[in-house]
């Protein structure tokens, strides 16, 4: 209930209908030279003081990538990307670790403030020594990692988590401090040559988050990463690796924003999740990269590979995503259900407005017995937005008793947008059961009029109806994120009616 009020307040406060995260931060940035070649990869690896095996791993990925073709099967259109005309390494120049907030680059702090990160956490993000190990009053603690352009700036609540044996740090730090874990799991779910963008990421990834939850530990707080692309002409290639050991639980949140720029910027992340026996990983994303302007100038190309492996029996991986941003979204968070009785879930809301394009969905690979998967996809198209759900449910011959339920609903606002549903089902097991439901609807004139007759403006009415349409997905989000997501939905659709 309060969330919707907030939605409305937000709609009213955002008067220009603009992208309010569209500021840039003026910070001295260190770049590697433009372009992509082995030397750049060596440069990145050296900058990060990586062990030899990782450099070799990157170079192998680069070699694979050079032989690959950019995929063209998705229902998205964009001009060819010149991969030599981008920076692959950009990092805020840092001096020694600041002792207090006063020593932190004020521009960086202002950025966090604009992103809505509470001040005390800002201090931690800026790397102030010993800042805040106590949660702020009245809110559930959220441990935050922030990735600014290519580099993880800082991670909060580290000590508190360490007490439980939980590792939550940047992947660069993990490479240094927990090389055995990284080496064991990196690329184990998304191998270097998995696809064009994953290969590119494997060659040049610069940072991202690393999480390890030990056996039997229930992570006491939400873990969260904010990704922010700031520098011009940079790609962002973060790499996230989450391992939930037997019987553990973790809920992880990811938020993303970028400045408004009239050029396109590439974001090609890889996320790998591994859930061992009886472990649960809940991964939530609120993706709000800059979508470009109404004419389709600028905006992020979001080409992301996310995959989870339910390795152990009764393990569970649940993806929830709210995709409101980016000029183009190409993203299929997937689950490999290897362990018997393991569970995969995918809850998605994808909005396309103006000239945005989204081709998103999931893949569920049923391998173990009695594995179950649920897919709920809500696509909303407005303006000239194009929204495609593309999903694959594959059931292997040995996955006896496997179950899948898929529900794809599309909502259209206006007459120039499009919604497409492309479900692939490959069932090779007689005892498995696959169900698929799909609907397409429009926000009806009578619904809008009914709301307006009760006093809601047209935009409030659209916000309310859209939030209602997405309810099944939004309720999967952790509380604080759900509020943010509702606001985003309303803002993303501004100007889509009337």
Partner 1 sequence: MSIMLQIEGLRAAVEGREILRGIDLTVPKGEVHAIMGPNGSGKSTLAYVLAGREGYEVTAGRVTFEGQDLLAMEPEQRAAAGVFLAFQYPVELPGVGNANFLRTALNAQRRARGEPELDAMQFLKEARARMKLLGMPEEMLKRGVNVGFSGGEKKRNEVLQMALLSPRLAILDETDSGLDIDALKIVADGVNALRGPEFSALVITHYQRLLNHIVPDRVHVLVGGRIIRSGGPELALELEQRGYGQVAA
Alpha helices in 435-478 (DSSP H): 445-453, 458-469, 471-474
How far apart CA 310 and CA 366 sit, in angstroms, is: 10
- Applying the rule CB under 8 A, the residues between 87 and 126 that interact with partner 1 are none
User: Residues 408, 437: contact at Cβ < 8 Å?
Assistant: yes
Q: Is 471 in the site for partner 1 (CB under 8 A)?
A: yes
Q: Is 460 in the site for partner 1 (CB under 8 A)?
A: yes
Q: Which is nearer to partner 1, 2 or 79 (CB)?
A: 2
Q: Which of 248, 247, 250 is nearest to 225 (CA)?
A: 250
Site for partner 1 contains 450 (CB under 8 A): yes
Three-state SS for 435?
A: strand
Maximum distance among all alpha carbons in the chain? Answer: 68
Count residues contacting partner 1 (CB under 8 A)? 28
In the complex, what is the shortest distance from the CB of residue 174 to partner 1, in angstroms, rounded to a whole number?
41
Q: Among 126, 336, 451, 483, indicate the residue that binds partner 1 (CB under 8 A).
A: 451
Q: Report CA-CA distances (Å) from 106 to 230, 262, 450.
A: 15, 26, 48
Helix (H, G, I), strand (E, B) or coil at 143: strand
Residue 1 beta carbon to partner 1: minimum distance, rounded to whole angstroms: 5
Q: Give CA angle at 275 (309, 365), nearest 5°.
A: 25
* Alpha carbon distance 273, 317 (integer Å): 8
Question: Cβ(140)–Cβ(480) under 8 Å?
Answer: yes
Q: Which of 89, 319, 469, 481 binds partner 1 (CB under 8 A)?
A: 469
Nearest residue (CB) to partner 1, 242 versus 470:
470
- Min. distance of Cβ 380 from partner 1 in angstroms? 13
138 binds partner 1, rule: CB under 8 A:
no
Residue 86 structure tokens: 């981008």
* Interface with partner 1, residue 81, by CB under 8 A: no
Q: Does 216 bind partner 1 (CB under 8 A)?
A: no
Q: Do β-strands 90-92 and 29-31 pair in parallel, antiparallel, or remain unpaired? A: antiparallel
Residues 6+ positions from 375 with CB-CB distance below 8 Å: 345, 346, 361, 362, 364, 391, 393, 404, 405, 406, 407, 408
| Residue 163 engages partner 1 in binding (rule: CB under 8 A) | no
Asked if residues 310 and 274 have their Cβ atoms less than 8 Å apart, the reply is no
According to DSSP, the residues that pair with 147 across neighbouring strands are: 152, 227
Q: Exposed, middle or buried, 137 (CB in 10 Å: 0-12/13-18/19+)?
A: exposed
Is 453 among the residues that bind partner 1 (CB under 8 A)? Answer: yes
Q: Are 162 and 38 in contact (CB under 8 A)?
A: no
String marking each residue 2-31 x if it binds partner 1 according to CB under 8 A: x-xx--x-----------------------
Contact of 171 with 206, CB cutoff 8 Å:
no
Nearer to partner 1, 332 or 469 (CB): 469
* Least Å from the CB of residue 468 to partner 1: 3
Quick one: which segment of 73-81, 260-268, 428-436, 438-446 binds partner 1 (CB under 8 A)?
A: 438-446
* Sole window of 63-71, 99-107, 240-248, 468-476 interacting with partner 1 (rule: CB under 8 A): 468-476
Name which of 428 and 452 has its Cβ closer to partner 1.
Answer: 452
Is the CB of 188 or the CB of 447 nearer to partner 1?
Answer: 447
Does 34 bind partner 1 (CB under 8 A)? Our answer is no
We find the least distance from the C-beta atom of residue 482 to partner 1, in angstroms, to be 13
Rounded to a whole number of angstroms, the minimum distance from the CB of residue 373 to partner 1 is 23
Q: How far is the CB of 122 from partner 1 (least distance, A)?
A: 29
- Number of residues written out for the chain: 498
440 binds partner 1 (CB under 8 A): no
Q: Which stretch binds partner 1 (CB under 8 A): 130-138, 267-275, 307-315, 440-448?
A: 440-448
Site string for partner 1, 386-425 (x = CB under 8 A): ----------------------------------------
- Residue 464 contacts residue 456 (beta carbons within 8 Å): yes
Q: What's the rounded Cα separation, in Å, for the pair 178 and 238? A: 18
Q: Which stretch binds partner 1 (CB under 8 A): 74-82, 125-133, 341-349, 442-450?
A: 442-450
DSSP 1-22: -HHHHHHHHHHHH--S---TT-
Gap between the Cα atoms of 6 and 70, Å rounded = 42
Smallest gap from residue 95 Cβ to partner 1 (A):
47
Among residues 32 and 462, whose Cβ is nearest to partner 1? 462
Q: Which of 36, 465, 482, 489 binds partner 1 (CB under 8 A)?
A: 465
Q: Which residues lie near partner 1 (CB under 8 A)?
A: 1-2, 4-5, 8, 444-447, 449-458, 460, 464-465, 467-472
């Amino acid at each position: 209930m309060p969330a919707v009020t907030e939605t409305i307040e937000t709609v009213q406060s955002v008067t220009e209908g603009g992208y309010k995260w569209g500021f840039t931060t003026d910070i001295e940035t260190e770049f590697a030279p433009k372009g992509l070649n082995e030397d750049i990869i060596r440069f990145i690896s050296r900058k990060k003081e990586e062990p030899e095996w990782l450099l070799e791993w990157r170079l192998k990925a680069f070699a694979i990538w050079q032989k690959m073709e950019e995929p063209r099967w998705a229902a998205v259109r964009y001009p060819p990307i010149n991969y030599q005309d981008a920076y692959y390494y950009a990092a805020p120049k840092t001096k020694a670790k600041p002792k207090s907030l006063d020593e932190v680059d004020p521009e960086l702090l202002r950025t966090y403030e604009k992103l809505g990160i509470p001040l005390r956490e800002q201090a931690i993000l800026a790397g102030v020594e010993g800042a805040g190990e106590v949660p702020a009053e009245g809110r559930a603690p959220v441990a935050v990692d922030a990735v600014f352009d290519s580099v993880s700036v800082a991670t909060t609540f580290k000590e508190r988590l360490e007490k439980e044996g939980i590792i939550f740090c940047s992947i660069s730090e993990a490479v240094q401090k927990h090389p055995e874990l990284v080496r064991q799991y990196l690329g184990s779910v998304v191998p270097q040559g998995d696809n064009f963008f994953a290969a590119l990421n494997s060659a040049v990834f610069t940072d991202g988050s690393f999480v390890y939850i030990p056996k039997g530990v229930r992570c006491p707080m939400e873990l969260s990463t904010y990704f922010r692309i700031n520098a011009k002409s940079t790609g962002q290639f973060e790499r996230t690796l989450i391992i939930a050991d037997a019987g553990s639980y973790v809920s992880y949140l990811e938020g993303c924003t970028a400045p408004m720029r009239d050029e396109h910027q590439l974001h090609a992340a890889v996320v790998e999740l591994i859930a061992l026996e009886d472990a649960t990983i809940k991964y939530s994303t609120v993706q709000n990269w800059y979508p470009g302007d109404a004419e389709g100038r600028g905006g992020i190309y979001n080409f992301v590979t996310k995959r989870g492996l339910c390795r152990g029996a009764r393990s569970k991986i649940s993806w929830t995503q709210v995709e409101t941003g980016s000029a183009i979204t190409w993203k299929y968070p997937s689950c490999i259900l290897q362990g018997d009785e393991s569970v995969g879930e995918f809850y998605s809301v994808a909005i396309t407005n103006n000239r945005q394009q989204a081709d998103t969905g999931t893949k569920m690979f049923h391998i173990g017995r009695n594995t179950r998967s649920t897919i709920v996809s809500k696509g909303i198209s407005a303006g000239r937005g194009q929204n495609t759900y593309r999903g694959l449910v594959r059931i292997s011959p040995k996955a006896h008793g496997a179950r899948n339920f898929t529900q794809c609903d599309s909502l259209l606002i206006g007459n120039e947008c499009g919604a497409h549903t492309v479900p692939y089902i490959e069932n090779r097991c007689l005892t498995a059961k696959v169900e698929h439901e799909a609907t397409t609807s429009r926000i009806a004139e009578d619904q809008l009029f009914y709301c307006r007759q009760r006093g809601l403006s047209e935009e409030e009415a659209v916000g309310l109806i859209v939030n209602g349409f997405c309810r099944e997905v939004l309720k999967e989000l952790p509380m604080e994120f759900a509020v943010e997501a509702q606001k985003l939905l309303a803002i993303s659709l501004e100007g889509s009616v009337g």
